[in-house]
Amino acid sequence: MTIAKNGLYYAAVAASAIAGMSHLMLGPNNLGFNVNQGILFIVGGIAQVFWIIPMIRRWGIRWYAIGIGGTAVLMALFLITRVPGNPITGRAGGTNTISIAVEIFQAAFIGLTAAIIAHEIRRNKRPAEKTAAEAPTKKSRKRAPILAGIVVALVLVGLFVLPIAMPRPTGGPPGQAGAPPTEQSGQPASQAGTSTNLRCTLTPSLVEIEGTPQQTEGPYFVDGMPNRSDITSDTSDGSVEEGIPLTLTLNIYGVDDGACTPISGAQVDIWHANSQGVYSGVQDASTSGQNFLRGYELSDGDGTVQFTTIYPGWYEGRAIRIHVKVRSFEGSQETFKWTSQFYLPNSANEKVHTLTPYSDHGPVDMVNEEDGIYAGGSTDGLIQSNAGQHLMLSFTELVGGYHGTFNVVVDEV
């Protein structure tokens, strides 16, 4: 076999190994962001690194075809995870340099392996041309354990060594630059300046966000709520709201020379409707003086807060959402604030509202795309339309409940 023909096999090995190592490198970090996506990266990465063995050992056309099919499936899954509300990650992903490079190497593997199949088909038609050098030898068999050891070592390096050298944020969609913020009607200038137009890329960054856009506060923000992680109870009477459990993890980042820096000590308020679409603290709903499903926490040294709550119910004329406000204070003086809303996948909204007690309130009134605030621009000018797509929680279904995560990137003042 000529050097050129051998080169096809080794080029295919290199393409698959690089794509696999990239997936393995990103997999562990993605587990803290989206379990399904992290598992997909790890399983796909192991499969791609494993493919070193059948290519170098020349396992034959059937194995090469399996390699092409498996790689094509991984590329298809990548496209599926770009779709909003997809069943794998629950939100739309984007592209960056790493993701594009991985897809290029996967495509190269498919092309090179197809060329190898064509070469072997031609060779098999001329069996007399097969040389002794192409037949298995005792020496090559002795090298098999060494080759397997190399594959195992690459998998371990990809899973444990490389991720240590990477920034390791946990939580939801990474934030990066968008258009410069501008003041819009109804929004104070101080608030308009708190979104970021600087580059801030969280690793892994295979999920997109064009910045972390702000949205209207809504009429139901109530200040002075309890500092607590579990917001399911009402402190006025001790009652606890019934519903599907939801854990919400938010990571608050500022921008320092273009890099993401966790903000500690930020006050993060959240509030949302109960299973019947009712907010606490609202006079028109006869809930004045109540504070169920409201509260705040101060971000820790990693910029993280976590709330225990229930899945929100729908409120007439709006999509299901969770309100959020991030503020910093010097004494009693507010130094900055960032206000927005988080959205949940339509599929999960519909599923939850077939269950008790949500079913008592009836089917979901409006899907995300029908909501004017979701479909409109952000109040800070970062996003001109469909701002809600950039505010979808990274969502995981657990046994008996859900877990939502999100990275909030603000221009810390």
**What integer pLDDT is reported at residue 342 of this predicted model?**
96
CB distance 106 to 113 below 8 Å? no
**What integer pLDDT is reported at residue 384 of this predicted model?**
85
Element (H, E) at 206: none
Give pLDDT tens digits along the chain (413 positions).
454 557 888 898 889 888 888 888 777 755 544 567 778 888 888 888 888 888 888 888 888 899 899 899 988 888 887 675 567 765 545 555 677 888 899 999 999 999 989 888 888 776 555 544 455 555 555 666 676 777 677 777 666 665 555 443 333 333 333 222 222 333 333 333 344 334 455 543 323 333 588 999 987 899 999 999 999 999 999 999 999 999 999 999 887 766 778 899 999 999 999 999 999 998 878 899 999 999 999 999 989 999 999 999 998 889 999 999 999 998 889 988 999 999 999 999 999 999 999 999 999 989 999 999 999 999 988 788 889 988 999 889 888 899 999 988 886 54
Q: Which of 121, 147, 164 is the last residue of a domain?
A: 164
Beta bridge pairs of residue 233: 240
CB distance 328 to 194 below 8 Å? no
- Which CATH number characterizes residue 305's domain? 2.60.130.10
Evaluate whether residue 180 is within a structural domain. Answer: no
Say yes or no: 290 and 151 in one domain: no
Rounded CA-CA distance 173/99 in Å is 15
Q: What angle do CA 393, 90, 41 make, to 5 degrees?
A: 105
Say yes or no: 138 and 229 in one domain: no
Evaluate whether residue 337 is within a structural domain. Answer: yes
Alpha carbon of 39 to those of 97, 255, 407: distances in Å?
A: 21, 29, 20
**What integer pLDDT is reported at residue 295 of this predicted model?**
97
Cis bond before residue 245 (omega within 30° of 0): no
Say yes or no: 374 and 246 in one domain: yes
DSSP 266-294: -EEEEE---TTS--TT-TTTT-TT--TTE
Rounded CA-CA distance 81/73 in Å is 12
Say yes or no: 322 and 243 in one domain: yes
Say yes or no: 403 and 265 in one domain: yes
Q: Which of 164, 199, 234 is the last residue of a domain?
A: 164
Evaluate whether residue 169 is within a structural domain. Answer: no
Rounded CA-CA distance 44/274 in Å is 40
Q: Which of 164, 180, 199 is the last residue of a domain?
A: 164
Cis bond before residue 188 (omega within 30° of 0): no
| Residue 215 CA neighbour count, 13 Å, CB half | 26
Evaluate whether residue 339 is within a structural domain. Answer: yes
Residues 21-40: tens digit of each pLDDT: 888 877 775 554 456 777 88
Evaluate whether residue 343 is within a structural domain. Answer: yes
Say yes or no: 117 and 225 in one domain: no
Domain with 75 in it? 3-164
CB distance 204 to 33 below 8 Å? yes
Residues 159-215: tens digit of each pLDDT: 666 555 544 333 333 333 322 222 233 333 333 334 433 445 554 332 333 358 899
Say yes or no: 111 and 203 in one domain: no
CB distance 324 to 270 below 8 Å? yes
Evaluate whether residue 176 is within a structural domain. Answer: no
Between β-strands 401-409 and 245-256, what pairing exists: parallel, antiparallel or unpaired?
parallel
Say yes or no: 222 and 326 in one domain: yes
Say yes or no: 116 and 68 in one domain: yes
Alpha carbon of 312 to those of 82, 291, 347: distances in Å?
A: 25, 15, 14
How many domains, the chain?
A: 2
Beta bridge pairs of residue 305: 250
Say yes or no: 204 and 151 in one domain: no
Phi then psi dihedrals of residue 265, to 5 deg? 80, 10
Evaluate whether residue 105 is within a structural domain. Answer: yes
Rounded CA-CA distance 267/272 in Å is 17
DSSP 45-71: HHHHHHTHHHHHTT--HHHHHHHHHHH
**What integer pLDDT is reported at residue 255 of this predicted model?**
75
**What integer pLDDT is reported at residue 82 of this predicted model?**
67
Evaluate whether residue 110 is within a structural domain. Answer: yes
**What integer pLDDT is reported at residue 139 of this predicted model?**
54
Q: What angle do CA 284, 287, 291 make, to 5 degrees?
A: 135
Say yes or no: 226 and 312 in one domain: yes
- Cα–chain-centroid distance for residue 90? 8
Say yes or no: 73 and 220 in one domain: no
